[in-house]
Amino acid sequence: MSNYHIKHLEEYYQVYRKSIRYPEVFWEEVAEEHFVWRKRWDKVLSWDFTKPEVKWFEGAKLNITENCIDRHLRIRGEKTAILFEPNNPEEDTQHITYQQLYERVNKFANVLKSQGIKKGDRVCIYLPMIPELAISLLACARIGAIHSVVFAGFSATALATRINDADCKMVITSDGSYRGSKTIDLKGIVDEGVAQCPCVETVLVAKRIHSEINMKEGRDQWLQPLLDAASNECEPEIMDAEDPLFILYTSGSTGKPKGMVHSTAGYMIYTAYTFKNVFNYRENDVYWCTADIGWITGHSYIVYGPLANGATTVMFEGVPNYPDFGRFWEIVEKHKINQFYTAPTAIRALAKENLDYVEKYDLSSLKVLGSVGEPINEEAWHWYNDNVGKKKSPIVDTWWQTETGGMMISPIPYATPTKPTYATLPLPGVQLALMDEHGNEITGNQVDGRLCIKFPWPAMARTIWGNHERYRETYFSAFKNMYFTGDGALRDEVGYYRITGRVDDVIIVSGHNLGTAPIEDAINEHQAVAESAIVGFPHDVKGSALYGFVILKETGESRKHENLRKEINQIITEHIGPIAKLDKIQFTVGLPKTRSGKIMRRILRKIACNETDNLGDISTLLNPDVVQSIIDGSLVKK
Ligand code: 6R9
């Protein structure tokens, strides 16, 4: 891609205004400048949010892997595309060049074909963070098969539900995986899950931990011998712009997970454009996103966005605390990482530990720090800024969703002045609206409301797999002609946006709307507090009152807890006002979290309301054990 970057705030506003006034011209220019098209589009955009139907670059033909791999070979063939950092720091890093990536993807694509996978077939990928994961996504895309990656931490039941929903013919997995000092029997989980999936004909198995596993005759095949026998040339399948590229499941507030369907051309240009601008990516930078490819962040900003830019993207197999809490920083120093992208939950966990773990390493290569997945609280923001970025690397707090495909609100580094806890300004092409509960747009600044998007952007999901009506109902029915995000946001005096949390997390106390995030921010400011979560519970006078679950850095003696409760409420009063004071504060060992690190408030709400006999499915939690400790009021880790 060209070297063009937005360089200062005024330029951002110019680009933004143009992108809003002439969205089709704007995106057409992005598409024309940077990509390989087998056939040009007939029409840039057609859309109707009532159906809803959105089409970008209709008539165009392309293959995304030609754009992510083939076209780099001439000038970047020997450049590292994927830098694989294993779980065990003693094991060698692997550098996969663009040329090697080309060969490995082509071989893998030929294996898929030889196993009967054709354009439009769904392939489930259940792999740890090893190179085969990125390669298998690209191999599917090479032949036009639709990949459906399931995070390899989900249970057998969760896996089976997703395989059946998308009617996958094949599952790609490994014998097992490493996670810190542990190993996980992935193939065992797949066996249990696939037993409930009549649609699965083949299971391909990569070797990672060399464990003894069962191979089911007629269904299971070792990957390596098939790769060895395959040719390293595979003609790319020429796809329509709107052909589905992948399905990725996200959990809704109710019902079964939603298989969000992303299409090819729009997703490609949007992830490429946002990657380059939000990370200020320059040729020869080394970029690292710590997410797992099992989440949208990994799809868009480990695989497709970086590779479409010919970047070097790091894949890390391990965890932040193995062999110790310095692992992230050791890797930053070792590979001279320039852009580092992680989640607030990881930052908070590391901020609890001794600063020596950070200070030991040379982090001077860092130029941009990213945050994604949840609101970043003020304390974590400062810790990240002070200790990792040394106050010289801008933090890009990027707001977006599985459904949006790419980042939507974020500072442009070195152009947009950052402000702690603010995702700041919409990216070019993104038209936001804040709506009130009567369906009216709230104009002006210093206001808050429900965050909606008024105009299509290229990477938006096109439907929910097999259930278009649910797609319409969930995202396009709350507000006329708008995509509703499910989040609340405020717009400050200069037009910066701050995400205030899921709208379903809003708690109304004595008629005042309170977002959970600002209260949690305030509590986390207390020096004894590691993390907290707020929910509402019924109250005679106030309607709802606030219940806080608080993790302390050190449990300490219980006689001190009463004082701590007072101090926490004092801080809340100082930050927000007495209205936001908590009626109940429970100190706890942990908070129930989803695999991607989001607090499951639904469960905490039930505990706060004493409805513990009906907690719903907790099997997909990262830490299901913690639920019983909270119910018991125990401060001891199980
Ligand atoms: C990319 C991703 C989406 C939800 C989203 C919002 C929350 C994500 C955020 C953020 C505040 C940010 N969220 N980024 N909240 N600030 N920078 O995380 O996708 O897993 O689908 O989650 O996450 O609530 O609606 P996904």
ipTM for the whole complex:
1.00
502 in contact with ligand 1, CB cutoff 6 A: yes
401 in contact with ligand 1, CB cutoff 6 A: yes
Judge if 424 and 527 occupy the same domain. Answer: no
Adjacent-strand bridge partners of 495: none
Judged by DSSP in three states, 316 sits in strand
Judge if 447 and 523 occupy the same domain. Answer: no
In a domain, 359, yes or no: no
The helix (run of H) or strand (run of E) holding residue 48 is strand 43-48
In a domain, 617, yes or no: yes
Task: Determine the distance from the C-alpha atom of residue 137 to the mean position of all C-alpha atoms in its chain, rounded to a whole number.
Answer: 16
Distance 420 CA to ligand 1 centre (A): 16
Residue 493 in contact with residue 589, Cβ under 8 Å? no
518 in contact with ligand 1, CB cutoff 6 A: no
397 in contact with ligand 1, CB cutoff 6 A: yes
202 in contact with ligand 1, CB cutoff 6 A: no
Judge if 192 and 293 occupy the same domain. Answer: yes
Distance CA 55, CA 48 (A): 9
CATH number at residue 517: 3.30.300.30
Distance CA 41, CA 61 (A): 7
In a domain, 35, yes or no: yes
Distance CA 419, CA 122 (A): 43
Judge if 562 and 455 occupy the same domain. Answer: no
Residue whose pair of structure tokens reads 């505990």 in the numeric block = 607
Distance 513 CA to ligand 1 centre (A): 21
Q: What angle do CA 127, 131, 135 make, to 5 degrees?
A: 85
402 in contact with ligand 1, CB cutoff 6 A: yes
How many structural domains are present in the chain?
2
596 in contact with ligand 1, CB cutoff 6 A: yes
300 in contact with ligand 1, CB cutoff 6 A: no
Sign of CA dihedral 317, 319, 320, 321: negative
Side-chain-facing half-sphere of 247: CA atoms under 13 Å: 26
381 in contact with ligand 1, CB cutoff 6 A: no
- Phi/psi for 312 (5° steps) reads -100, 120
Local mean pLDDT, 10-residue blocks, the chain (638 residues)? 76 97 98 95 98 98 98 97 98 98 98 98 98 98 98 87 96 97 96 97 98 97 98 98 96 72 98 98 97 96 98 97 97 98 90 95 98 89 98 97 97 97 98 94 96 98 97 95 95 95 70 73 91 89 87 80 93 82 94 86 90 80 88 74
Distance CA 256, CA 143 (A): 29
Distance CA 389, CA 395 (A): 8
Judge if 161 and 207 occupy the same domain. Answer: yes
Distance CA 587, CA 18 (A): 51
R_g of the chain computed on alpha carbons? 24
* Residues counted in the chain: 638
Label residue 574 exposed, middle or buried (CB < 10 Å: 0-12, 13-18, 19+): exposed
Which of 463, 489, 515 is the C-terminal boundary of a domain?
489
Torsion of CA 135, 137, 143, 145, to 10 degrees: 150
Judged by DSSP in three states, 182 sits in strand
Amino acid sitting at position 505: D
In a domain, 347, yes or no: no
- Phi/psi for 130 (5° steps) reads -120, 160
410 in contact with ligand 1, CB cutoff 6 A: no
Label residue 17 exposed, middle or buried (CB < 10 Å: 0-12, 13-18, 19+): exposed
In a domain, 193, yes or no: yes
423 in contact with ligand 1, CB cutoff 6 A: yes
**pLDDT of amino acid 508:** 67
Distance 339 CA to ligand 1 centre (A): 20
Judge if 439 and 482 occupy the same domain. Answer: yes
380 in contact with ligand 1, CB cutoff 6 A: no
* Residue 290: both structure tokens together: 């710590």
**pLDDT of amino acid 637:** 58
Residue 213 in contact with residue 206, Cβ under 8 Å? no
Judge if 561 and 456 occupy the same domain. Answer: no
487 in contact with ligand 1, CB cutoff 6 A: yes
Q: In terms of C-beta distances under 8 Å and separation of at least 24 residues, what long-range contacts does 211-219 make, across chains too? A: 211/175, 211/176, 211/183, 211/185, 211/187, 213/175, 213/176, 213/185, 213/187, 213/188, 214/187, 216/191, 219/194
Contacts of 179 (CB under 8 A, 6+ apart): 87, 128, 318, 319
**pLDDT of amino acid 1:** 44
Which of 489, 515, 546 is the C-terminal boundary of a domain?
489
Tens of pLDDT, residue by residue over 533-568, are 999 998 877 777 899 999 998 877 777 888 999 999
Taking CA atoms only, the protein residue closest to ligand 1 atom 16 is 375
Judge if 307 and 419 occupy the same domain. Answer: yes
Instruction: Print the domain residue range for 583.
Output: 506-633
Judge if 440 and 512 occupy the same domain. Answer: no
Judged by DSSP in three states, 371 sits in strand
Judge if 484 and 574 occupy the same domain. Answer: no
Distance CA 98, CA 261 (A): 28
Judge if 135 and 36 occupy the same domain. Answer: yes
CATH number at residue 58: 3.40.50.12780
Taking CA atoms only, the protein residue closest to ligand 1 atom 22 is 401
In a domain, 331, yes or no: no
Distance 453 CA to ligand 1 centre (A): 15
Distance CA 128, CA 134 (A): 10
Of 290, 430, 499, the one to substitute when testing ligand 1's pocket (max ligand atoms within 8 A of C-beta) is 499
In a domain, 360, yes or no: no
Task: Determine the distance from the C-alpha atom of residue 106 to the mean position of all C-alpha atoms in its chain, rounded to a whole number.
Answer: 27
Atom of ligand 1 nearest to the CA of 486: 25
Taking CA atoms only, the protein residue closest to ligand 1 atom 4 is 401
271 in contact with ligand 1, CB cutoff 6 A: no
- Closest to 374 (Cα-Cα) out of 591, 579, 128: 591
pTM (two decimals) = 0.87
Of 299, 384, 400, the one to substitute when testing ligand 1's pocket (max ligand atoms within 8 A of C-beta) is 400
Distance CA 18, CA 20 (A): 5
Tens of pLDDT, residue by residue over 328-343, are 999 999 999 999 999 9
Taking CA atoms only, the protein residue closest to ligand 1 atom 8 is 373
* Residue 358: both structure tokens together: 């950070």
Judge if 538 and 415 occupy the same domain. Answer: no
451 in contact with ligand 1, CB cutoff 6 A: no
- Closest to 202 (Cα-Cα) out of 123, 106, 259: 123
Q: What angle do CA 563, 567, 572 make, to 5 degrees?
A: 150
Atom of ligand 1 nearest to the CA of 403: 21
Residue 31 in contact with residue 265, Cβ under 8 Å? yes
In a domain, 381, yes or no: no
Distance CA 458, CA 465 (A): 18
Adjacent-strand bridge partners of 75: none
Distance CA 260, CA 303 (A): 18
521 in contact with ligand 1, CB cutoff 6 A: no
Tens of pLDDT, residue by residue over 46-87, are 999 999 999 999 999 999 999 999 999 999 999 999 999 999
